[in-house]
Structure formats: C-alpha cells, structure tokens
Structure 1
Amino acid sequence: MVRRALSLPVAALLGLSACAAPPPPVVAPVAPSIVARPVSRVVTPPPDEVPVPSAESEALRIYYRRLQNDLLAQGLLRGDGGGPDTPFTDTMLARDFIRIALYDEYVSDGDMLRAEATESKLRRWDQPVRMSVEFGASVPAAQRDRDRTSVTAYAARLSRISGLPIRMTDSNPNYHVLFLSEDDRAGYEARLRELVPGIGGSSLRAIMNLPRDQLCIVIAFSEGGSSSYAKAIAVIRAEHPDLLTTSCIHEELSQGLGLANDSPQARPSIFNDDEEFGLLTNHDELLLKMLYDKRFTTGMTAAEAAPIARQIATELVGGNS
C-alpha cells in the first residue's frame, strides 16, 4: 500500500535554558531566541524556463500519474466526504479521536524512525498559525499559482472548523508548506536547517530521504518537552498530479495541527491508510473540532482525554452508540 503521508509530531526544539533533553527525536541545543526571530524566507521566483527534470524526477512523475489513475479506477481517493455508506456513531468518533490524536505513528529508533503506534499526549497549537508556501526551482508558475490557491483556501477551512487562527503570511511564518521535486529536495538541506535551526538528524533524514511510497510528510516541532506546537514543516512532492497534490494538502495540513496518527478503523477518514478517501471528510472535520475544544488541555494523556472525547462526540453526533 502506498502511504499518502508520514506524520512525525513532537520533534522538539530545545532552547539553551532547557534543563533536560526532550523526548526523541533529539534536536541539538539552539539559541532561545530562535522562535521569536523572524525566519528569512528565500523566495524563489518562477524561472523563465524551469530546469529540465532529472530522469529520476520524470520517472516519479509518471509513476504517480499511474498511481492516481489506478486508485481512481478502484473507486478510491473519494472526495464526497462520506455518505449513507459510511455511517459512524458517537462511540466510533470518540474511539477514532483517541487513536488519531493521542497516538504517534512513528517512534525514534536511534537516529532512524520506525513505524510503531505509540501512546502519546494530546498535541496541538496554542498559538496562531502563520502559514507560508514555498516552491522549489523546478515548479512552474502555473503550478505554483494553483497550489498556493489550494493551500490558502484549505487553511481558511481548517481555521473555520477548528477555531484556531490560521493566516497566510510571509512574515515570520511558523508553518511552512514546501512543494519540492526530487531534484529540489536533494539541495534543500541548508534551507531546512534555516527554517528549523537545530533540526534533529532523524527529522532531516525523513525529509531528505523520502522513499517513493511516501507521497508527502509533515513534521511538527515543540519547544523543550512541551506538547504545544511551535513550528511545522510539510513537504509535498511537486511530481504529483492534481488529485494526489490536493490529497496531500488535505492530510498534511490537518495532521500538522495535531491529528498525527492513522487508524484502520477510522471511516470515513483520510487518517486511514486504505486510501478510500482523498479529501477531508465530515468525520475528520469533527475530529478537528474536538481537538481544539477548550475542554481539552494540551498535554493530556489518553486516559484523561477519553471521557471528555466521549462527551464531545455525543454532543456532535448524538448518543447513537
């Protein structure tokens, strides 16, 4: 199964004033002023002629076009949000919330990452999100315009659903959405280090060595050992055809808000590796509403969050268990 997203929440951004190292992946100490310091943004203007893609990048473009066609032929990547064929109850919604918002999909194994669902804590943003879009040199102007428009519209939708302030800006952004081809990404390490000074080796490798079956990736960073996000980077392959690009935008931007895990039981949902749904569903909108409900506290354990999740789910769906 081709995975649409790789979510790596709670890589920590550690200031010099921190007393102890946070959970892995470990980030080297950095100056405590880095979060407040504006990140200089390298604006890459659309070239008059985009660089000729490498054979590897062109092969990926062909592969992902065929993949999208194959998934559509199987009735997957649905964009209808769910319907009569995908009913869910309040009990199911509460269960899905705990599994998706209170578990991590990957753990750090030394300086590498290993797939293993692990109980975590409730992670989310406790500050406004300032989102920016950045493109590699290989991305043509028309594609940039289309992708920027898609991100802007979707960010506004996420803000309406969650109640979290999210705005598009190039002034000191804290959520970076990068559209990069294979060729672009190969030369992007220095830029990633600029966006997140002190970024850990496992996080950097996850982006730089993205395997073919990972269509996109998001990594959210906290400060010290906090569960509150301070920065995020989403990387979406520029080789994708339109629907896979939109699918990555939908999943990455929402996972980067705190819905970090996937669950095979979640339906209708993009937080499920079966690829049935490609766009945010009605079920997923409710998960976002729940995540930013003020009755939750950032850093709650699954045991602490579970009764609150059941109460909110009943209010949203009704008590039809």
Structure 2
Amino acid sequence: MRSKIMPPYETIRAAKAPAAMPPRHRAALGKVSPLTRISALAGLAVLAGCAAPPPAFEAPTARAATAALDLPLSEIFPGSPRAAPVPRAAVLPSNSELARDFMELSFSLESGRRFGQFSRFEGPVTVALAPGAPPAAEPELVRLVARLRREAGLPISVGASASNHIRIEFVPRRKMRREAPGAACFVVPNATNWSDYRAQRRTPAGDWAQVKQRTAATVFIPVEATPQELRDCLHEETSQALGPLNDLYRLPDSVWNDDNFQSVLTRYDMMQLRATYAPELQSGLSAPEVQARLPAVFARLNPAGGAVRGLREDPTPRAYVNAVNRAIGPGSTRARRAAAQTAIQLATAQGWHDTRAAFGWYALGRLTVQSDPETALHAFATAGAIYRSTPGAGIQSAHVDMQLAALALSSGHAQEAIALADRALAPALEGENAALVATLHLIRAEAYEALGEGVQARQARLDSGQWAGYGFGSDAAARARAAEVAARAQAGRG
C-alpha cells in the first residue's frame, strides 16, 4: 500500500524567515552565496515515504498521498500516452542486480516476512473501475493499461471477467484511515469489494504470503484523491497486484520504494513486470526454482545486461527501515530527528552510497529546515550529491534542489534560487510530478520579482498555473502553495 505521508515538496511552509534564523546562519549566507556553498557541499557528496507497522496479514506497499489543472494529461505531459518506453534510466542495472532485486521484490513483504512460493496471474488479466469512480480515473487507467501492454508485454485489458481480474474501488478516506492509518492506498488479494476486504483481512485469504496463484485483487484509493494522487496510486498498486509485493529503499528508479519519490512506472519497473510474466516462470515455483531460471529470463529480456553471476545480496536491515519510519512518521520533532540521525549512522556503517544513504540526510533536512537551517542546508546538499551520483535518481535530485531553492529564496539570494529551480525542472518534468513543477515555477516567479524582472515573473506564474490544478487538486490548494512561496520571498526581502 502507498503510505499516507507528507509529499517531498510540502516543506516549503516549514522553514523560518531569515529574521528568525540564528545569526551564524545569516552571516554565513551573507559571506558566501548559497549556490556557491551548496555547490561545494554537493561536491562532497522533506519527506517522502512512510509506512505504518503492518497488520498480521498486510497489504504489500506504502505510498504517499500527493496533492493534485483541468487540462488533459496529454497537454500536461506532452506525448502521453507514451509511444515508447519511458526515457529515465536509459541504462538498466546489470542482470545480476535485476535478478537479485527480483528475488527480494517477489519473495518478501514490506514487513520483512518471507514466503516460499512465487505467484502471478496465469493467462489474460482484466482491470476495471468499480462504480462511483472519479471522472479522472478512466483516462488514467486506460493510459496505464496501454503502457503495461506496450512496455511490459502484459496480456492485460480494461474490462471485467470472472477470474484474473483486478478491481479499482474508491472509498472515503476516513474509512481507509480507520483500517490502515498509514496508507493512502493499498491492494489486497481475493477481495471483491470493501466489505469483502474487511471480512477477510485477517484470514489466510487476505494474506499475500498465502497466495499460490493470483486470480483476483482489489486496489483501494480514496475517493477524494486528487488527480496526481489517483494516478500515483493506480501505478503502484495495480503493478503490485500484478507483480512484486515488496518495496525496497535501495531502488532509485522505481515506484516500489517507500521513499515515494517516483510517481509513475519506470523502465526498471516494466522490465521486472516483463520478467514476472516470462514463460520460463509460473505460479507455485519455489524461490530456489525461480532463482535458477532467472539467468535465462534476463539474458533473453535484457541481453545488454550481461550474465547473472551469482546474486550478491544487499539487504536493508530492519533497524534502518524502523529508523526511517520513525523519522518520517508521527511523533515529536526531537524523536524524529534522532531517528533520522540513526538512519544516517546505519547507512554509514553499512558503507552505502545510494538512495538509502541519501534518504536519511533528506529526512534530516526536512526535520531541521525550521529549527536549524544550517543543518538543513548541509543535509540537503549531502543528499543531493548522493542522488546526483546515483543513476536513475533524477527526480530525487529535483526535490532536493527545490528545497535548496526555497532556502536561497528566503535568504534573499534570488539568482541562486532561479538557478536551482531551473536545474530541477527537467527531471521534475521527466518524473511527471506536476506539483513539483508548479512549485518550482512559483519559486522562479518570486525570485524574478525580487530581481525586478516583471516579464519573467509573470511568465513563470503562467507556467506554474499550467501544472497547479493537476498537482494540487484545487484552486484553494494552489493559492495556498503560492502564498507559502510568496512568504518565503518576502522573508528574503525583509
């Protein structure tokens, strides 16, 4: 299930104005421009994901609610639906890494529970919306199914059938919170509707680990979900109804990561789904049997990936997962900050220099941006440097640059804010994150205004408006975001 957490771009409102910053922070920014300092930190090397403790029979994924223009998606993201596979991660990981990830994604749940048999749908699959779906749901579902057919080669179609069927049901958020407080959306096996799910959720029928062959699954999404949140939930939960049941913090370019940075299925995800439905595999195989067949599967599907030469495990200790969950979950800021520091220490001890190492720093930045901007600046810059050195982590880098641009704006360094926002725009667009794109244009608009560049400021506001409705969901939410950014700019002029 997709966890209900604060999206990465939400912390604009959290930072204090420079007048409230410690004198040492103001002096440092006055001596060296933020961009120069940030670049130096980045040369060395807000928050995005959270899962509640799982029940005895858990749904597999956790995904954050995003906020969500009334423009058709094809106008918001030109070229959608795509005529070709997504361009991100043009170079896939090696086949050894793909096979290693496949095993961990397919034989474990988020809670860490392992199970012994492989499962998937056997034969053509149908997916349909339950009555009462929001108007935005149908075009999003049609677009997703077209991608799954084209990019993953799946025998899936929109429609209903007696078996091999995925149902998408929209439920009031309050009901979902009562059953799964940490989830924005989730998928369960064998249930046909909400009542059926509640009746069997603590029985073997509702336990993914007990499923030997998939015949039915239902995705639950809040009926109040904004267009962007709806799309994100459709992508992650439908794909997990079809394939991997686990999320891994180490995956940079996948929706199957509890950091929730990725919004739509990536090339990596499509490759893993293609492998899931490879003819060499079938439901009921044991983990050793699947592992023995994966070298041939990936050699055929990804010949450029090399031979599978043993599966070098790279597990993420539960201590790290627990620390991250505490850092991004409920609780006092002091306790959450300590948990983020624990995650950083654990990542350092493991020798990681990947998304797991970066995420701890990102969490620390989100938790200190108000109380200790100097620490936040260092944390974001460190996270950004790691993300930029990680193939496939462009959207993560864009979120970091947005945070740094907001800090620069509130410190009165408008030119640096523009440079950081400009650097983030391309990966934000590629990641199809409308809320992030709209926020970046708002930062640019306020920075241009501060520089007396009225024409550029007006154009940036128009650009933001193109994305705001899809990204934030309502005029009120879009105006609130604009007010937050304007307050940052005012602080920088104060």
Q: TM-score range with shorter-chain normalisation?
A: 0.5 to 0.7
DSSP 3-state at the match of 2:118: coil
Q: Secondary structure at the match of 1:99?
A: helix
Tell me, in whole angstroms, the C-alpha distance in 2 between the residues paired with 1:226 and 1:116.
17
The amino acid of 2:104's aligned partner reads R
Letter of the 1:319 partner, please give it.
G
Please tell me whether the aligned partners of residues 295 and 307 of structure 2 are also in contact (alpha carbons under 8 angstroms).
no
1:135-284 superposed matches below 5 A: 135-136=131-132, 144-170=134-160, 172=162, 174-182=165-173, 186=175, 209-211=179-181, 213-221=182-190, 227-284=212-269
1:214 is displaced (CA, Å) by 1.1
The structure-2 alpha-carbon separation of the partners of 1:227 and 1:245, relative to structure 1 and needing over 3 Å to count, comes to same
Aligned residue number for residue 82 of structure 1: 88
Code of the residue aligned with 1:116 in structure 2: it is G
Give 1:272 shift.
1.0
Q: Which structure has the higher relative contact order (CA within 8 Å, separation 6+)?
A: 1
* CA deviation map 1:36-84 (0-9, x unaligned): xxxxxxxxxxxxxxxxxxxxxxxxxxx8539xxxxxxxxxxxx966336
The separation in 2 between residues aligned to 1:292 and 1:119, in whole angstroms, is 19
Change (3 A) 1:265 1:126: same
Deviation of residue 227 (structure 1)? 1.4
Unpaired runs of 5+ residues, structure 1, are 9-23, 26-62, 67-78, 106-114, 187-205
Structure 2 counterparts to residues 81-160 of structure 1, below 5 A: 82-83=88-89, 88-105=93-110, 115-136=111-132, 144-160=134-150
Partner deviation per Cα, 1:144-172 (whole Å, 9 max, x = no partner) = 22211111221232233444432222464
Q: Would the alpha carbon gap of residues 155 and 207 (structure 1) be closer, same or farther in structure 2, given more than 3 Å must change?
A: farther
User: Quick one: distance in 1 between partners of 2:87 and 2:223?
Assistant: 25
Larger of the two Rg values belongs to structure? 2
Tell me the CA shift for residue 310 of structure 1.
2.7
| Segments of 4+ moved more than 6 angstroms | 222-225
Q: 3-state SS of the aligned residue for 1:215?
A: strand
Task: Provide closer, same or farther for how the CA distance between residues 158 and 4 of structure 1 changes in structure 2, counting only shifts above 3 A.
Answer: farther
**Deviation digits for residues 230-250 of structure 1 (CA, Å, limit 9, x no counterpart):** 111000122332222211111
- What does residue range 39-58 of structure 1 map to in structure 2 within 5 Å? none
Supply the distance in 1 between the matched residues of 2:213 and 2:150 (Cα, whole angstroms). Answer: 20
Q: Secondary structure at the match of 2:150?
A: helix
CA distance in 2, matches of 1:254, 1:94: 18
| Alignment match, 2:430 | none
The 1-side partners of 2:124 and 2:299 are apart by: 28
The one-letter amino acid of 1:95's match is R
Q: Deviations over 1:252-300 (max 9, x none)?
A: 1110012111112223111111223111011111001100001012111
CA shift at 1:228, angstroms? 1.1
Letter in 2 for 1:154: L
Cα distance, 1:81–1:253 mapped onto 2, change above 3 Å: farther
8 Å CA contact 1:5–1:216 kept in 2: the answer is no
Name the structure where helix makes up a greater proportion of residues: 2
Q: Distance in 1 between matches of 2:157 and 2:262?
A: 26
Kept in 1: contact 2:154–2:274 (CA 8 A): no
Looking at structure 1, the residues matched to 177 and 243 of structure 2 have their Cα atoms a distance apart, in angstroms, of 19
Contact 1:104 1:120 in 2 (8 A): no
Q: Percent identity?
A: 23
Q: Within 2, Cα distance between the matches of 1:4 and 1:170? A: 33
Q: CA deviation at 1:103?
A: 2.0
Q: 1:295 to 1:320 in 2, by over 3 A?
A: closer
- Residue aligning to 1:202: none
Partner SS for 1:297:
coil
CA change 1:314–1:4 in 2 (3 A) is farther
Query: For the structure 1 residues 120 and 81, does the alpha-carbon distance in structure 2 shift closer, same or farther, using more than 3 Å as the test?
Result: farther
C-alpha contact 2:92 2:305 (8 A) present in aligned 1:
no
Q: CA deviation at 1:175?
A: 1.5
CA–CA distance in 1 between the matches of 2:233 and 2:147? 15
Q: CA RMSD in A?
A: 3.4
- Measured against aligned partners, the alpha-carbon deviations of 1:111-157 in whole angstroms (never above 9, x if no partner) come to xxxx2331332110013222220254xx6xxxx22211111221232
Q: Which amino acid aligns with 1:181?
A: P
Does structure 2 retain, via aligned residues, the 8 Å contact 1:96–1:265?
A: no
Residue by residue, what CA displacement relative to the aligned partner does 1:196-236 show, whole Å, maximum 9, x if unpaired? xxxxxxxxxx886121x311100123998661111110001
Q: Quick one: distance in 2 between partners of 1:176 and 1:296?
A: 25
What is the total number of aligned residue pairs between the two structures?
A: 219
> TM-score under structure 2 normalisation?
0.39
Q: Is the 8 A contact 2:67 2:228 kept in 1?
A: no
